[in-house]
Amino acid sequence: MAAALDAIGLISGGLGIIQFFLDNVPSSTPQGASVQIKAGLGDDTSDNLGGGIDNVYAFDYNNNYLGVSSGCSMGDGGVCQVTVDQGNAGVQADYVSISNGNDATCIAWVSVSQFDSSPGGAWTGDIGYNCGDIWYYGNQLAGRNPDGSEYRPYCAWFDGDHTNGFQYASLKFTVRAYGEKASDTISQNKVCSASIFGADTGPINGQPESISKKRSVKRAPSTRRSWMENRLIISSHAGHTAEHLCNSATSWGPDFVGADGQFCDMATKTLSPLCSKEDVDGCIDVSQNGTVVAKRSIARRSVPITKANIPRDYLVTVLLRMADRFSVEWSIKYEVPVHRQLLAYFSSYFKAAFESGFAESTQEVFVLEGLSAITYQELFRWLYTKQLDLL
């Protein structure tokens, strides 16, 4: 079994001691404390959970400033590993502070090793989650749970310019509180008081408190980054459920399919079952390549709604145009995304258009004229639900 140190992580919904692999702790170097920062990763194809770290700072036992390292950038699932340039490399870094850049980073862990090989520590995104920070699931392997199962921490969001309403840009923590003294940290209820979360990107000069204090929980931002609208994360990890993600006030990120067979629309925090698990009205169909294909049913007299993260080759845009009673001109009134497969299956016109090999086969916009928008809406509703309202 790989060498490990004691650290704090979520175990069956509560914080406990996990074995954090030493392979995920930076090796010591002659200049001072070494720090590794790991970005979260939603799945094997996700991106944009990585970001940039501006600086890493170290402080001694009395909270005196020891030195600083320059930052680095990292992609999703990437690693930033730096060495703090200390005036005296042998002085142990009892406190470490990191400041994030202006690109939001979902941090899975920050691990520290000392120059003199004395015990280090590892702050994980589970701590950020437990202490009220905005979070998302991560799948990066960090260590082992007590039962031998894989330990993959959540990741916590930090952003230097507070885009979308992020509350924290920096972090400072007591290294040993999340290492050799992890058991005491839990038993004395100091998991949150051993960390300070800062609103700006400069070094945090304060000292983590010695008394227990859990921060107030701030709701996640109501808007999402544009890339999140085009991404679906799928996880088979037993601890990653869509229900928990959807029900959390502080979760934030792309839409998610969990091991519980449910789908979370993170824009609205709406939970729906997968049709493969529960074939009911409102269930979600997911294609083999991991994209949301369709919602099985729609509301009465509404145009079919599809997810923004469906690849373009699945959809065409239909422009519905109605005659203006006061003008001979036609005006566009509605724009509706419709699945190519449905149109081709029920319409010989669209089937021929899509399979002709001519320009129409790659056309992304079709215009329908001559009928009222309500008539077209009822037609599209029937395509998806096989229900039709007759007067």
Domains delineated in the chain: 4-198 (no CATH), 219-297 (no CATH), 302-391 (3.30.710.10)
Predicted pLDDT of residue 10: 86
pLDDT at 87 over 50: yes
pLDDT at 238: 83
Q: In 27-172, which ranges are continuous DSSP H helix? A: 125-130
pLDDT tops 80 at residue 30: no
Calculate what percentage of the chain has a pLDDT beyond 90: 29
Mean pLDDT computed over 297-301: 34
Higher pLDDT, 290 or 365: 365
Tell me which of 130-144, 252-266, 293-307 is least confident. 293-307
What is the structure's pLDDT at 232? Answer: 82
Sign of CA dihedral 131, 128, 54, 253: negative
Cβ contacts of 34 within 8 Å, gap of 6 or more: 26, 27, 28, 81, 82, 83, 84, 112, 113, 115
Tokens read off for 173: 């923590």
Contact 296, 283 (CB under 8 A): yes
pLDDT band at 34 (very low <50, low <70, confident <90, very high): very high
Give DSSP secondary structure letters for 136-186.
E------EE-TTS-EE---EEEE-TT-GGG---SEEEEETGGGBTTHHHHH
DSSP state of 85: E
Q: In the predicted model, what is the mean pLDDT of residues 286-314?
A: 44
